[in-house]
Amino acid sequence: MHIHILGICGTFMGGIAAIAKSLGHKVTGSDQNVYPPMSTQLEELGIELTQGYNVSQLEPKPDMVVIGNAMSRGNSCVEYVLDKGLPYTSGPEWLKHNLLQNSWVLAVAGTHGKTTTASMLAWVLEYAGLKPGFLIGGVVQNFGVSAKVGETPFFVIEADEYDTAFFDKRSKFVHYLPRTLILNNLEFDHADIFEDLNAIKKQFHHLMRTLPQSGKVIWPKQDVALNDVIAQGLWSESETLGDDWSYELIKADGSEFNVLLNNEKQGTVRWQAIGEHNVKNAIMTIAAARHVGIAIDHSIDALGEFISPKRRMELKADINNIKVYDDFAHHPTAIKTTLAGLRAKVGDEKIIAILEPRSNTMKMGVHQYTLLDSLRDADDVLLFEPENLNWSLKEQADKAGMQCFSSTQTIIDTVLENIKPNQHILIMSNGGFNGLHQHLVDGLADKYSGE
């Protein structure tokens, strides 16, 4: 079958392309911006890519057009598909019918930590010899890819609450048919598609309705919003972080902790990850793995060899004992927990936080009054105010005594002028940040080239 994917270069749709190719289909696709690394990954798989949306790419007619959720009415290819009556579907729906219905799906949902937790879970299953498939919104460094077809029925998926397609406004995750479900947390996000927190709770309730009686949901008992979701209906088995599972920190930064089940110690995790939020992710990973028959001590051993996904507290450089980290955090809660983990790790050493408020929710100003407070664990904060922000970041920064810039180059120059050894630079953005990461690393390398 010839499958053509519109919007192929996003992480999710690129993963769909890789999976479809592995299943033996001819796959082509297009995007508005075809560029590395996704374009390189897809071309290496033998997938022909087209820049832009000229309708000639749909001739001869493919057997199925898979339409990404970034596509909207008015797009020339979308209009052509509708006018010509070409068969089309969404990425999540295609995945459901072509792979997930015959799989034991382990899904990870929640506002924060989906990519990291799903990566942990895929690795634990791999370590146990289960050879799972997976589709995750980031490069899983233990595998080097973001998606693959497994050799067994087990499939791990990052279950995103964002909408499915222009013609299907349900959350992606209602298509995934999970048998094991982790709910990490639930807060208001994606203000561009959800009116309020209750609207997101409704979608999570729909997800709960798809879980079979023999399935299991694992969730943190202290999360108020998830309690509300569970109260709307629970038809499967459940375990909680709080009643059933718990942990004891041995090191404050979360790099070493005991795992407890029913208040009895099961073992000790010693790993590379930091932050109490990642400890919680690990506990729920262990619980989910246990649901498919993996012993707790085996999961603990696996986590000891786990490497966090790219852009999740990823150490980009260590130059003259100045460490530069890249993190995807873009919601006040994620920013706060990421900084707290780094603070616990480095103690009194100076932390310089650089932030780009890039998500749609940030641009709309939903978090403008809580954003800066989430940065209090940093010693210095340098904020970047993009042109398309619907509120004044500088006004809020002035009130908080923080620095705000309209130029990434000025941020780089400011850091390079004031940086000293034994300091930590944490860059937070869910986008490319105008290449600031690499420019800053290059600047540090030049500054200390003679030392």
Looking up residue 381, the CATH number of its domain turns out to be 3.90.190.20
**Quick check: 335 pLDDT over 70?**
yes
Full DSSP string of 165-189:
ETTEEEEGGGGS-EEEEEE------
**Are 35 and 172 part of one and the same domain?**
no
Q: Kindly give, in sequence order, each residue whose CB lies less than 8 Å from that of residue 363, ignoring residues fewer than 6 positions away.
A: 357, 386, 388, 389, 390
Could you give the C-alpha distances from 33 to 7, 9, 39, 438, in angstroms and in order?
9, 8, 9, 21
Domain count, the chain: 3
**Are 110 and 220 part of one and the same domain?**
yes
**Are 414 and 280 part of one and the same domain?**
no
Under the banding of pLDDT at 50, 70 and 90, the label for residue 373 is: confident
Query: CB atoms < 10 A from the CB of 217, how many?
Result: 26
| Residue 309 belongs to some domain of the structure | no
**Are 292 and 347 part of one and the same domain?**
no
Residue 451 has what pLDDT?
Answer: 60
Q: 20 or 272: which carries more pLDDT confidence?
A: 20
Residue 365 has what pLDDT?
Answer: 66
Distance from C-alpha of 280 to C-alpha of 365, rounded to nearest angstrom: 29
DSSP annotation of 274 reads -
| Residue 21 belongs to some domain of the structure | yes
Segment 201-238, tens digit of pLDDT: 999 999 999 999 999 999 999 999 999 999 999 999 99
**Are 267 and 327 part of one and the same domain?**
no
Q: Which range of residues forms the domain containing residue 76?
A: 2-90
Mean pLDDT of all residues in 246-263: 95
Mean of pLDDT over the chain: 91
Mean pLDDT of all residues in 29-49: 85
**Are 286 and 248 part of one and the same domain?**
yes
The count of residues in the chain is 451
Nearest to 342 by CA among 404, 436, 428: 428
Of the three residues 90, 115, 138, the one that is the final residue of a domain is 90
Strand residue runs (E) in 2-85: 2-6, 26-31, 48-51, 64-67
Under the banding of pLDDT at 50, 70 and 90, the label for residue 286 is: very high
Mean pLDDT of all residues in 276-281: 92
Model confidence pTM above 0.75: yes
3-state secondary structure of 448: coil
Mean pLDDT of all residues in 239-266: 96
Helix (H) or strand (E) holding 317: strand 314-319
**Quick check: 160 pLDDT over 80?**
yes
Under the banding of pLDDT at 50, 70 and 90, the label for residue 288 is: very high
Segment 419-446, tens digit of pLDDT: 999 999 999 887 778 888 899 999 999 8
**Quick check: 147 pLDDT over 80?**
yes
Q: Kindly give, in sequence order, each residue whose CB lies less than 8 Å from that of residue 48, ignoring residues fewer than 6 positions away.
A: 28, 29
**Are 276 and 324 part of one and the same domain?**
no
**Are 107 and 79 part of one and the same domain?**
no
Of the three residues 303, 337, 353, the one that is the final residue of a domain is 303
| Residue 165 belongs to some domain of the structure | yes
In this structure, are residues 94 and 16 in contact, taking their beta carbons and an 8 Å threshold? yes
| Residue 333 belongs to some domain of the structure | yes
Under the banding of pLDDT at 50, 70 and 90, the label for residue 450 is: low
Of the three residues 278, 303, 328, the one that is the final residue of a domain is 303
**Are 241 and 160 part of one and the same domain?**
yes
**Quick check: 330 pLDDT over 90?**
no
Distance from C-alpha of 400 to C-alpha of 383, rounded to nearest angstrom: 12
Could you give the C-alpha distances from 119 to 113, 158, 284, in angstroms and in order?
10, 9, 12
In which region does residue 7 sit, left (phi positive, over 0), alpha (psi from -120 to 50) or beta (all else)?
left
3-state secondary structure of 123: helix
Mean pLDDT of all residues in 77-88: 98
Residue 191 has what pLDDT?
Answer: 63
| Residue 308 belongs to some domain of the structure | no
In this structure, are residues 426 and 338 in contact, taking their beta carbons and an 8 Å threshold? yes
Residue 190 has what pLDDT?
Answer: 66
Q: 411 or 451: which carries more pLDDT confidence?
A: 411
**Quick check: 29 pLDDT over 90?**
yes
In this structure, are residues 315 and 323 in contact, taking their beta carbons and an 8 Å threshold? yes
Dihedral sign for Cα 238, 208, 14, 338, please. negative
| Residue 55 belongs to some domain of the structure | yes
